[in-house]
């Protein structure tokens, strides 16, 4: 039996790997954007992924690639594989490239040659609506973040397998913030909102409810509702409450939702104790962003409030920080919400949470946002 491999989008390969670790668990990294799993792994949560591009089953992985390899060699290997793994029915060959691809291999030539070898009475080619898709991935070098020290010696990879259909909810261009009935410049981009929800999962914990005490225009609520999760959203601004409701009605998600006018200190009174819940929010920052602690008290209030609702839950949030966080390895003295990072981390711990993951995302030249995942400190 071959591998299951997952292929990530090019948006951020580091965050793709972290997301899949949260949703699925332990894996082998064979390329920054390609992960390999054993056949007994559970993929129940994969439909929730934000950054997954493809899922291939019964896959073969070719490393230590000879400089002399050509399309004919690859086609013969896939032919041998197909005798064991391609069921009877129509098929199509799809070849895709990642990074600076191996040699001068032609994806079109591979598609034509493999298709010609595999076609038979029991397997007809159907490019429009095939029963099975054989996907060939040519993965070469790509621009790797300086944070990704495990890829000092990145090698090319060729892999192929049968495509497993994945959720269509990744069509982000159909629900960008500017397309919604209610829009404000503070609106969260859907891919990032969905990623934040994913990062609240662990292989042993899948929240049934998402609570957002700063719902704004409803970006997080929309993504949770599309996944069928129960959404509890609130905000102190009545305009945001009305806007979030309009946006949720527009998106027609399958999850239940409740949207209330409420201060963050009062959300425990509003929602009560909620087991199997996680907390995903993008708090207001104040005018001076990372240089100021304008929003710090509100953030700490949020951490205390959500702890009273479910002290065994998980949190994913974002905070403003200096762009230097992107490049400086010793980040303890960099400012986040007007505090040195080590000071802020201590304040977070005092509310009952511990930071298990942090990652900076650049916004523009003078601002980055620090993505944080917190688990219970007990």
| pLDDT one-digit tens code per residue, 171-204 | 888 899 999 999 998 888 999 999 999 999 999 9
Domain ranges of the chain: 3-163, 172-376
> Whole-angstrom Cα distance, residue 170 to residue 227?
11
| pLDDT one-digit tens code per residue, 131-146 | 999 999 999 876 555 4
pLDDT at residue 238 tops 70:
yes
Q: What does pTM read for this prediction?
A: 0.92
pLDDT at residue 27 in the model: 87
pLDDT at residue 295 in the model: 84
pLDDT at residue 223 tops 80:
yes
pLDDT at residue 267 in the model: 98
Domain 172-376, CATH number (from 3.40.50.150, 3.30.70.20, 3.80.30.20, 1.10.580.10): 3.40.50.150
pLDDT at residue 161 tops 60:
yes
Average pLDDT score over residue span 214-231 = 97
Nearest to 98 by CA among 135, 64, 150, 129: 135
| pLDDT one-digit tens code per residue, 303-330 | 999 999 999 999 999 998 877 666 666 6
> Whole-angstrom Cα distance, residue 97 to residue 51?
17
Please check whether the two domains, 3-163 and 172-376, share a CATH topology.
Answer: no
112: Cα separation from own chain's centroid:
33
Distances (CA, A) of 340 to 124, 145, 216, 293: 63, 24, 27, 11
Range 3-163: architecture per CATH: 2-Layer Sandwich (3.30)
pLDDT at residue 285 in the model: 73
pLDDT at residue 288 in the model: 45
Nearest to 211 by CA among 306, 80, 74, 98: 306
């Amino acid at each position: 039996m071959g591998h299951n491999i997952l292929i990530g989008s090019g948006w951020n390969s580091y965050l793709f790997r972290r997301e899949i670790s949260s949703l699925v668990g332990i894996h082998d990294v064979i390329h920054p954007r390609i992960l390999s799993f054993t056949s007994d792994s559970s993929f129940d949560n994969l439909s929730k992924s934000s950054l997954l591009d493809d899922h291939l089953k019964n896959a073969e992985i070719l490393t230590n690639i000879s400089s002399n390899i050509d399309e004919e060699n690859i086609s013969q290997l896939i032919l041998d594989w197909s005798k064991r793994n391609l069921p009877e029915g129509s098929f199509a060959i799809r070849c895709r490239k990642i990074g600076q691809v191996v040699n001068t291999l032609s994806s079109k030539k591979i598609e034509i040659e493999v298709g010609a070898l595999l076609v038979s009475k029991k397997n007809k080619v159907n490019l429009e609506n095939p029963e099975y898709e054989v996907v060939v991935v040519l993965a070469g070098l790509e621009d790797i973040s300086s944070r990704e020290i495990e890829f000092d010696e990145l090698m090319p990879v060729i892999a192929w397998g049968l495509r497993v259909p994945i959720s269509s909810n990744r069509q982000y261009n159909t629900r960008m913030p500017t397309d919604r009935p209610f829009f404000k410049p503070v609106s969260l981009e859907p891919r990032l909102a969905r990623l934040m929800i994913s990062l609240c999962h662990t292989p042993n914990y899948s929240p049934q409810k998402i609570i957002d005490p700063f719902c704004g225009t409803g970006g997080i609520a929309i993504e949770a509702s599309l996944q069928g999760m129960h959404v509890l959203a609130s905000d102190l601004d009545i305009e945001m409450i009305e806007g979030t409701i309009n946006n949720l009605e527009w998106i027609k998600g399958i999850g239940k939702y409740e949207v209330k006018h409420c201060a963050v200190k009062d959300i425990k009174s509003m929602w009560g104790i909620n087991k199997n819940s996680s907390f995903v929010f993008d708090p207001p920052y104040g005018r001076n962003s990372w240089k100021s602690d304008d929003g710090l008290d509100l953030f700490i209030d949020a951490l205390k409030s959500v702890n009273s609702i479910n002290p065994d839950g998980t949190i994913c949030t974002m905070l403003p920080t200096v762009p230097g966080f992107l490049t400086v390895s010793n980040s303890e003295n960099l400012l986040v919400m007007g505090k040195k990072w080590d000071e802020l981390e201590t304040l977070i711990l005092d509310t009952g949470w511990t930071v298990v993951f942090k990652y900076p995302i650049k916004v523009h030249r003078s601002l980055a946002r620090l993505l944080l995942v917190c688990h219970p400190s007990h």
